[in-house]
Structure 1
Amino acid sequence: MQKRSSLQPRPTKASMLRQQGGGTGQQQQQQQPKSRPVNVAGTSPVPQQQQQPTVNKRNSKAQASEGIRAFMAAHRAVAAQRKKTSDSSSSMDKHQERPKIRVMTGAERYSYDDSDPFGMQNDKASLKLQTVIHQAKSSGKLNLSNRNLDRVPDEVWSMYHVDPNKIVVDFSSTDDAWYDSTELNKLIAADNAITEIDERIGQEFGALTLVDFRNNKLEKLPESLRQLHQLTVLHLSHNQIEIFPEQIYDLGARLRDLDLSHNLLTAVPQSIERLSQLEILHLNDNKIENVADGIGQLVKLRKLYLNENQLVELPALHHLQKWTKLEEMHLFKNQLRVLFRGDSARSSIVVALPLLSRLDVRQNSLTQIVEGEKVEISLPKLKELLLAYNQLSQDANGLEQVMAKAPSVQTLDLSSNLFSEIPDVVLTLQGLRRLDVSANHLRMLRPDLGKLEHLAVLSWEGNPLRSAPRNVSMAELIESLRSKLVLAEDQEKEGVPAANPGDNSDKEILSTGVSSSPASPSAAAAAASSTPQSPRPSGTLDLSRKQLSDLEPSMLSGHNPATLQLQHNMLETIPIQPLSSCQLTTTLVTLKLDHNRLKELTLTTTTDNNVFHSLKTLSITNSRISQLSVANTTEQQQMVFPQLVELDISINALTSLPENLRDYLPSLRTLKANTNRIDKIMPQTLDGLEIIDLGNNDIAYLPPEIGRIGTIRELMLYGNRFRIPRPAVLDQGTGAVLEFLKRRLGS
């Protein structure tokens, strides 16, 4: 038996792979390798071929070494421990939130409170204040408004204090450091209950340009306010200041906006002249009785508010001649008796306020505008002159003088005064747009107000007019005045004496409400020759909401109205016979038949008694009208409405309009047919019209030829079915629509 060798060779991966590759595919029995001969004599042993051990399976892999297995086991143990720790942490976080540690760098490393050096307290109000202060350091604006404060917190006054022993400079931080702070230039503490401003305001915040302590309880100001030499805006309204603060005078080098309104001031001292750079001065809603002459030295003043005080007079006019930059002066609700006061020591005074655009002197006790015979004041840029609620009359001294030197006035308020007639100087204001003469003693409205081409608003209510306008819109009233003026001019040219403005001829103008342009002189003469003579109509007869299905002549007897109202009844036809029997067909100017049951409107007749010779305005809205018809007869026909200027047939069931509409309504200027079922429109129908409303119909096509109608001033077409022009063009107005249609024609 061969002796087993004590040394057994270790199988390698390479030898095992060679053995697997050279096998016969059959499983072999594993045999022990033969031992090598022992080196007895110390010589090298002779190598002997050994049979390598076989493995159980031909495709099995070699096993990893002990070192590799130990290394991988160690890593698996570490990974398992990490997973176990992570799961444990997640479970704890669900039940208990870990405290957050604030990492403070830069300027935040300095603590204002040694008891809480890391800012871990949860005092919400304190934290909010610190946040506001922090933001102010970077923006330069500190807003403490509406915090119910009775004083400014000490943290504010010490916001820029830095303890050298607590500064940590961290150049890796992205936060704002103490050396990056911006000087405070705006301090706002409005809407609180602050009773006193600390003296530290001038010592700590010398760069302030705006200070706002509105709506507090201040009675005085700190002396250190004088040190704010950069201050330009100071707002102290709605406080309890009784004496004009002297500290403000030292801010005159830069102060431009000063608001001391809604305080308890009683006087404006002479020292106010030291505020030489002041542009806006609010002193309204105080108890000021006297204003020193020094206010006239504010050469840069643009807006002055002295309203709602107890002023009896202003400084003499020559003290105000340096107000060359003044734009607005508000003096309403005082006790002024004279607006511009002269000086008896001076022979003549000439003052110009070249930029003044608004002068408000309402609710005073003015009896005259200028005091003194040789006083001249020029207001070339004045746009608004408000003189309401005074005691002025057409004889008030200086009224015509001031208006004559104010040619640019657009708004003139003379309401609630003592005028018995409108001053002649008003007619010289060619740019006038709004005139208010309500609540005076006027007996008539002057027809020559029609000379004011731009007049758009005329308020006359509250006057004892002999024939007050009723049921007349403002535009209709103004247009009627212009029509009356044109008629008077035509009569003057023909040698006919013009009617006295005070006679009954004004009653027609003041009560009819004709809103159309006047007819030509030849047409007027022809109409006059064909119209039977009758008493001049006046006033309005209101028979609306009477449930009338027919009109009885007895209802009309004894009346000669210019306007007849029959709205909200049950009339099925126009009651021509009753009107004709009372001769109202020859005198009626306005007829309103809205909300009745008329099914058609006949435009022609064979009987002269059925002709409305003077009718200018006809309104038949919401009355079920389905067509505008013409009498079907071979007899000679007459026009029912030869003088009709405005026709309103909106909210009916019309499907079309006559192509030759102007043949039956030759004087028509305004056609309103909104909210019908009109599906087609012809250019001939609109020829000669000025105002056309065809909105909310079914018009599918808009003829481009309409663009050539030169009389159209207003064209409303919204709510129809046509797609051209697009709504964007319609929104631009009549001019854009007509221009679009012209381009469609290639003209």
Structure 2
Amino acid sequence: MSRPKRADMVDSLAGFRAEKTEPSVPYGLLKAARKTGHLNLSGRGLTEVPQSVYRLNNDTPEEAQQNLSFGETDRWWEQTDLTKLLLSSNQLTHLSDDIRLLPGLTILDLHDNQLSSLPSALGELQELQQLRLSHNQLRSLPVEVCTLKNLCSLTLQQNLLESLPEELGQLENLTELDLSNNYLKGLPSSLGRLTCLQKLNLCHNKLSCLPDCLAQLKNVKVLDCSNNQLTDIPASLSEMLAMEQLYLRHNKLRLLPKLPAPLLKDLYVGNNQIEQLETEQLACLTAISLLELRDNKIKTLPEQITLLKTLTRLDLTNNDIASLPASLSLLPNLKVLLLEGNPLRGIRRDLLTKGTTELLKYLRGRIKDKPERAEEGHTAMTLPSQARVNIHNIKTLKLLVYSEKQAVNIPDELFDAAEDQGITTVNFSKNQLTAIPSRLLEFQSSVSDINLGFNRLTCCFPDISKLLQLIHIDFRNNQLSDLPPEMENLTKLRSITLNYNRFKSFPEVLYQIVSLEMVLLGNNQVNGVDPCRLIKLVHLSTLDLSNNDLLNIPPELGLCTSLSCLKLEGNPFRTPRTAIVAKGTDAVMEYLRSRIPT
């Protein structure tokens, strides 16, 4: 008798065959991500992104299928959209178009994978603010990425890019762009439309010239063009008025670039082919603090090196310098001078090993006092304190110094000697002054830097507001508890140092000075700060509030996106925890933003 046949024969071996399964993600992570909006899958060996991740906010979670009663912490229907997805350090070779199912993403981290292309669906993530694509194998950037209007940070270093789309200029809110370690030979002209850009990294590419469109980037503070094939720097680069740090190491430059950028503090031009320093180029560096010239072919230092009166560090390692001008010792702020690897003659080797201070002292000893002439009656004038007036400082460096004298007042003879000399820098620190000398007003058309630190000032006189050219003020180690409201007229002021005074609150007038870049208020008694007013200081990059009486840190402080250095240690607040503060500014700012009520 034959066995009846069935139309739907059962596969008897089905239970023994291995089913194709997608990479698994711990259910607890997915559950937590629905509540926090953050999912970290970095370093899990993933070769593809699981569907459960893409559909996190679309599919009903498992607990909804179960007949259970839920407490307040288990309400699956109270979920938030995924805003932060970290997929770095995996083995991803592609990204699915299903990424469009996560339209709420603001941060997408794909760095350190094996991606050779990106899906056009990325362009649908219109809330995206940070896109991290470094250390992949990308050969091109899809134009859809250039439609992400809210994108602030785009990191593409260590890929295989040879060109960039002209549409890149559409990312008008971009503040950080990292294109380093690629194969770029040119840049799109639309790059100049990225007017919000503050950091631009172009190092380790194949650029032989820089386009003039860079001049339109008025807010860039840090520009890195190291390790390219540049032979010249266009003069238009000087129009980047906000630039503070410029890296040009390992290129083919023969001259120091002529860059009258008013805020340029750090210039790195090591490992080039520079043979001489010209007065015209040196005179442009009016705010320079660090100048790196190592591994070039410089033979002599011109006397005009004394023009760099703000210079604190000069690196001349491995050049061809045989002698040093004694005038080098007249640089008032020079703290570090590096000379190893030069064929110096006339200076003992043991002197070079004793450090900068001893070397400058030796060079000062080589400056011979010139006999005074009748028309220079003040040249060797002796003041009551037996201190000589330094005419070279006054006439050449425009510097008026009367420091470390423990004086109760500044002698009139000193002001008389500086009359009509266009003094730009005044240093009356480390005395016993109880009031700001009124004769400072004689320099109101020229003075830009005042140091009155380490005195006994109890108040700041309102007339300081008449010194309209002031850029830097140093009032550290005094007895100040307030600043006059008239100081809001100081529209050029970029930094103010108030450490070790008696301030119990953040000085009201500082909220009004929008040009401020640095406020140092450490070691006072400040008990609060208003982030809503602080956020209006759009140029503020450094804020020191360490060792004060802050009982709480308002989360809105995290919205002060211009801050790159925030010091809070030594205050009695409980949150953020010490471990977070120890990680630095970025960690603190991210923590504060995460605490802002939604």
Q: Structure 2 length normalisation: TM-score?
A: 0.55
Separation in structure 2 between the aligned mates of residue 423 and residue 433 of structure 1, nearest angstrom: 18
1:448 to 327, 340, 344: 327
**CA shift digits 1:288-336 (9 cap, x unpaired):** 11112221221011001111111111002xx233221111001111110
1:185 to 72, 75, 83: 83
Cα distance, 1:171 vs structure 2: 6.1
Give the structure 2 partner of residue 296 of structure 1. Answer: 192
Separation in structure 2 between the aligned mates of residue 211 and residue 479 of structure 1, nearest angstrom: 53
Query: What's the C-alpha RMSD, in Å, of the aligned pairs?
Result: 2.8
Separation in structure 2 between the aligned mates of residue 520 and residue 178 of structure 1, nearest angstrom: 79
Give the structure 2 partner of residue 362 of structure 1. Answer: 249
**CA shift digits 1:217-253 (9 cap, x unpaired):** 00111111111000000000000001122221111x1
Separation in structure 1 between the aligned mates of residue 256 and residue 89 of structure 2, nearest angstrom: 40
Contact persistence 1:450–1:479 (CA under 8 A): no
Radius of gyration: which is bigger? Answer: 1
1:332 to 214, 226, 232: 226
Separation in structure 2 between the aligned mates of residue 382 and residue 474 of structure 1, nearest angstrom: 30
Contact persistence 1:340–1:369 (CA under 8 A): no
Separation in structure 1 between the aligned mates of residue 165 and residue 368 of structure 2, nearest angstrom: 58
Secondary structure of the residue aligned to 1:132 is helix
Separation in structure 1 between the aligned mates of residue 32 and residue 316 of structure 2, nearest angstrom: 56
Separation in structure 2 between the aligned mates of residue 210 and residue 465 of structure 1, nearest angstrom: 54
Separation in structure 2 between the aligned mates of residue 448 and residue 364 of structure 1, nearest angstrom: 30
**CA shift digits 1:37-67 (9 cap, x unpaired):** xxxxxxxxxxxxxxxxxxxxxxxxxxxxxxx
Contact persistence 1:254–1:277 (CA under 8 A): yes
1:418 to 297, 306, 318: 297
In the TM superposition, 1:566-715 aligns within 5 A as none
| Distance change (3 Å), C-alpha of 1:400 and 1:331 | farther
Contact persistence 2:143–2:165 (CA under 8 A): no
Contact persistence 2:122–2:145 (CA under 8 A): yes
Give the structure 1 partner of residue 160 of structure 2. Answer: 264
Contact persistence 1:410–1:432 (CA under 8 A): yes
Cα distance, 1:142 vs structure 2: 0.7
| Distance change (3 Å), C-alpha of 1:484 and 1:188 | closer
Matched, 1:207 2:139: no
Contact persistence 2:247–2:267 (CA under 8 A): yes
Q: Structure 1 length normalisation: TM-score?
A: 0.45
| Distance change (3 Å), C-alpha of 1:236 and 1:470 | same
In the TM superposition, 1:107-506 aligns within 5 A as 126=24, 129-162=26-59, 167=65, 173-202=71-100, 204-251=101-148, 253-316=149-212, 319-340=213-234, 351-370=238-257, 377-394=259-276, 400-472=279-351, 478-485=357-364, 488-493=367-372
Separation in structure 1 between the aligned mates of residue 42 and residue 342 of structure 2, nearest angstrom: 50
| Distance change (3 Å), C-alpha of 1:163 and 1:420 | closer
Query: Which segment drifts farther, 486-495 or 300-309?
Result: 486-495
Separation in structure 2 between the aligned mates of residue 494 and residue 334 of structure 1, nearest angstrom: 53
Separation in structure 2 between the aligned mates of residue 481 and residue 417 of structure 1, nearest angstrom: 23
User: Match of 1:199, as an amino acid?
Assistant: D
| Distance change (3 Å), C-alpha of 1:424 and 1:256 | farther
User: Match of 2:187, as an amino acid?
Assistant: V
Contact persistence 1:449–1:482 (CA under 8 A): no
Query: Which segment drifts farther, 476-485 or 455-464?
Result: 476-485
**CA shift digits 1:670-695 (9 cap, x unpaired):** xxxxxxxxxxxxxxxxxxxxxxxxxx
Separation in structure 2 between the aligned mates of residue 248 and residue 135 of structure 1, nearest angstrom: 29
User: Match of 1:358, as an amino acid?
Assistant: Q
Cα distance, 1:482 vs structure 2: 4.0
| Distance change (3 Å), C-alpha of 1:207 and 1:172 | closer
Contact persistence 1:311–1:334 (CA under 8 A): yes
Cα distance, 1:160 vs structure 2: 2.7
| Distance change (3 Å), C-alpha of 1:163 and 1:390 | closer
Q: Where does the alignment leave 5 or more consecutive residues of structure 2 unmatched?
A: 1-20, 375-385, 389-598
User: Match of 1:289, as an amino acid?
Assistant: K
Cα distance, 1:381 vs structure 2: 1.2
Secondary structure of the residue aligned to 1:281 is strand
Cα distance, 1:341 vs structure 2: 5.2
Contact persistence 2:351–2:358 (CA under 8 A): no
Identity of aligned residues (%): 29
Contact persistence 1:450–1:478 (CA under 8 A): no
The size of the alignment, in residue pairs, is 355
Cα distance, 1:478 vs structure 2: 4.1
| Distance change (3 Å), C-alpha of 1:462 and 1:483 | closer
Secondary structure of the residue aligned to 2:108 is strand
